[in-house]
Amino acid sequence: MDLGTHLFTGVITASLWPSLDLRQKILVVLFSILPDCTEWLNYFSLKKHNGDSHFSIDEYSKLSREIKNPFSLTYSLLHSIFTPLIFFIISIIFNWSLVFSMMWFMHLLLDLPSHKVKLGLKLWWPLSQQRLKGFFDWWHVKFFNSWELWGYWTLLAVISFIIVKNFW
């Protein structure tokens, strides 16, 4: 999903999860977008490589395959079910809060239906290269390509601000 929705689920989770201190709450919000961070680095490095010109999703996928950089390899890793699962097990062993691995799972749960064929999640990577087919590509939905997105993000930001101010 889009950055705003992911961050908002982080704010909600951090608010509802019992007995987290402020530092942990901020970490939960960061974890809500952690799986996508290297994808943005990949995007910017490909954009730079492409002379800063705009590219379609097909060109983006093609460039990602052709130009291997460290960021392009991590997307599959960070969006595989095994990464938060291993993190979940480590959290149990070291007695860390389970909210972080749960947040990671939730990121994948949000991405699953909102990433269709070409950028569908390789949930079982590295055991399988198969992409799971979601219902739609969120970046192709008109709502997320126009001014409504900024209205939506502003609304989420205002609600988040009220929640943080009153409950954190």
Site of interaction with Zn ion (CB under 5 A): 35-36, 111
What lies within 8 Å, CB to CB, of 128 at 6+ separation is 122
Beta carbon nearer to Zn ion, 25 or 107? 107
Reading the block at residue 20, the tokens are 């987290």
- To the nearest whole angstrom, how small is the minimum distance from the Cβ of residue 124 to Zn ion? 16
Reading the block at residue 112, the tokens are 């699953």
- To the nearest whole angstrom, how small is the minimum distance from the Cβ of residue 94 to Zn ion? 25
SS3 of the chain: helix, strand, coil, percent, to 5: 70, 0, 30
Beta carbon nearer to Zn ion, 86 or 158? 86
43/79 Cα distance (integer angstroms) = 16
123/100 Cα distance (integer angstroms) = 18
- To the nearest whole angstrom, how small is the minimum distance from the Cβ of residue 30 to Zn ion? 14
Q: Comparing C-alpha atoms, which of 80, 72, 69 is closest to residue 126? A: 80
Beta carbon nearer to Zn ion, 36 or 72? 36
Beta carbon nearer to Zn ion, 108 or 163? 108
- To the nearest whole angstrom, how small is the minimum distance from the Cβ of residue 88 to Zn ion? 18
